[in-house]
Structure 1
Amino acid sequence: MSLSSQLSLPLRQGCLVWGKRTYMMGVLNVTPDSFSDGGDFDSLQAATQQGMAMAEAGADILDIGGQSTRPGAADVALETERKRVLPVIAAIRQQSQVPISIDTMKSEIAREALLAGADVVNDVTAGTHDPDMFSVVAQQQAPIVLMHMRGTPATMQQLTQYEDVVAEVKAYLRDRAETAIAAGIDARKIILDPGIGFAKTYQQNLEILRRLAAFRELGYPLLVGVSRKSFIGKILNRPHAKERIWGTAAACTAAIATGACDVLRVHDVAAMGDVARVADALYRG
């Protein structure tokens, strides 16, 4: 029996019981340049209002990020990221106990965000960007999402050569989970993400989604982020990310149908929550 089928993840507001249903992680980008909603929520008031709206719409976790990780995005200074995310975390925490994830690859931001009221760290580099990330997460006894990516957002789409994309992503995630555990992170607090759209071609993204069940063999809960991504735009000929809601719904349903997805990272919380409830009823039995 796999790790994820036996356990739950306690958070400040309830807990995530793996296998019971699909949970919603709402995306809150407090950046001027994210691929889908850059600039929409880059003020404290707008970000706080959006966070509260997603919580009311049923988000189980809010994922707050202050640095775009879209293809080609450059790194931002630590102080810039700090000024973007910490006030939003504090403002939402004053109004709600909704669990908050900090989307960062910097250990200092992760530490400060956890102290400010965040509950989970979501690191798109799986701890490879900052060698202190795992020690910070271990010290704070926080859950962490480990995602597969090659290179940096600026270089990742030049690094898409794989013999077998699923096997290689799976091996990478196994290694990063073992490294995290060796650094003192509780295995029960690790969530894996295959990194749809990160150092992957159009066909590779589809292949990962088709074979998503292979990742269940790793024994950890799985987070999948397909929301509004470019592979959906290519299929539908929808160049504008906000026009990809129906394609996102289809991709989310497919992720649930494989029996492997535990958390969906989405922009459209209410709509994808409905999608997940129906898909859960169909495929979780």
Structure 2
Amino acid sequence: MDDGDRLLHSARPVVMGVLNVTPDSFSDGGRYTDVEAAVAYGAEMCRQGADIIDVGGESTRPGADRVDAKTELARVLPVISALVAAGVPLSVDTTRAEVAAAALDAGALVINDVSGGLADPEMTGVAAAADCPLVLMHWRGHSRRMYELAQYDDVVEDVRRELGQRIEEALAAGVRADRLIIDPGLGFAKNAAQNWALSAHLDRLLDLGYPVLYAASRKSYLGSLLAGPDGSPRPPDGRTAATVATSVLAAAAGVWGVRVHDVRQTVDALAVWRATGRPGLVAR
């Protein structure tokens, strides 16, 4: 069993640590654009208990401008190479097949495609050829126009159906079913009420029969929930407790993994949840 298989068949929820090597990510943009700082932080998250570190070189926050492939590669490859040399398991957060292929060649284990294979038709072919785990997130368009695309008849059933289409396309491209992971895409072309509806009905996504990655960490709908008396949303660095709560609830619902900025707090909270002896993941 290789490292990718071990991740896919983990007996407990996988904790994926977020490492944005961009100047403009919504929560930590600019902190880890220096390779040395990024590598140190990735290694630290691993020591805190992260099972895998997700390295991204293009911001997908609402309204973000795209960067070209050359820029994205220049941001992620030095960090991936150094972390792989340090023995840190990695995924690459990208919508470009070219970047995914280069990251895999550098030692990344997993492709995390927030477009679910829609942004680049070559992505599923890269994943199939590498026989690596592929995260397919629900997505309707790039960051500049994601909010105008938040129109659903029934967000849970629509997301379920559209993820099913992404799964079918990946399988048709040769990706093995046991390499696929799905993600409801919280915050991507979804408003707060739609994010909460998806979180409350994760069972409908789990019924598709694939591991689910849950990624609510520090997102704006948590900030809105925690707004101050004047209505101002809680800033990203004040959303840790809410993020941890969502991670535990998702784990109890049976998700495969959680993608978070606050690794230590999440690992600790999941340890408490498992200690109760009633974790939903085991019961499924």
TM score, norm. by length of structure 1? 0.93
CA contact (8 A) 2:7 2:14 kept: no
Aligned pairs, how many?
A: 274
SS of the residue 1:41 aligns to: coil
Matched with 1:117 is 107
Shift, 1:15, TM fit:
3.8
Equivalent of residue 192 in structure 1, options 164, 167, 182:
182
5+ unaligned residues in a row in structure 2: which ranges?
A: 228-232
Shift, 1:10, TM fit:
4.1
**Alpha-carbon distance in structure 2 between the residues aligned to 1:15 and 1:106:** 23
**Alpha-carbon distance in structure 1 between the residues aligned to 2:237 and 2:183:** 23
Matched with 1:246 is 241
**Alpha-carbon distance in structure 2 between the residues aligned to 1:153 and 1:27:** 18
Equivalent of residue 278 in structure 1, options 245, 263, 272:
272
CA contact (8 A) 1:51 1:92 kept: yes
CA contact (8 A) 1:30 1:66 kept: yes
Q: What is the alpha-carbon root mean square deviation over aligned residues?
A: 1.4
**Alpha-carbon distance in structure 1 between the residues aligned to 2:152 and 2:195:** 12
CA contact (8 A) 1:22 1:280 kept: no
Matched with 1:17 is 9
Indicate whether 1:211 and 2:198 are aligned.
Answer: no
**Larger mean Cα displacement after TM superposition, 85-94 or 247-256:** 247-256
Shift, 1:256, TM fit:
1.9
**Alpha-carbon distance in structure 2 between the residues aligned to 1:172 and 1:205:** 16
Matched with 1:5 is none
Rate the CA distance shift 1:133–1:78 in 2: closer, same or farther, 3 A.
Answer: same
**Alpha-carbon distance in structure 2 between the residues aligned to 1:103 and 1:76:** 14
Q: Deviations over 1:37-88 (max 9, x none)?
A: 0001111001000010011111111100000000111110111000000000
Matched with 1:4 is none
Indicate whether 1:267 and 2:261 are aligned.
Answer: yes
Shift, 1:90, TM fit:
0.5
SS of the residue 2:207 aligns to: helix
Matched with 1:29 is 20
CA contact (8 A) 2:4 2:110 kept: no
**Alpha-carbon distance in structure 1 between the residues aligned to 2:57 and 2:245:** 28
Shift, 1:17, TM fit:
2.3
Shift, 1:251, TM fit:
1.3
Letter in 1 for 2:252: A
The aligned runs of 1:57-206 (5 Å cut-off) are 57-96=48-87, 98-206=88-196
**Alpha-carbon distance in structure 1 between the residues aligned to 2:66 and 2:146:** 13
CA contact (8 A) 2:218 2:240 kept: yes
Rate the CA distance shift 1:206–1:216 in 2: closer, same or farther, 3 A.
Answer: same
Rate the CA distance shift 1:202–1:117 in 2: closer, same or farther, 3 A.
Answer: same
**Alpha-carbon distance in structure 2 between the residues aligned to 1:14 and 1:72:** 36
TM score, norm. by length of structure 2? 0.93
**Alpha-carbon distance in structure 2 between the residues aligned to 1:146 and 1:197:** 15
**Alpha-carbon distance in structure 1 between the residues aligned to 2:194 and 2:8:** 29
**Identical columns (%):** 46
**Alpha-carbon distance in structure 1 between the residues aligned to 2:42 and 2:69:** 22
Letter in 2 for 1:30: V
**Alpha-carbon distance in structure 2 between the residues aligned to 1:15 and 1:248:** 22
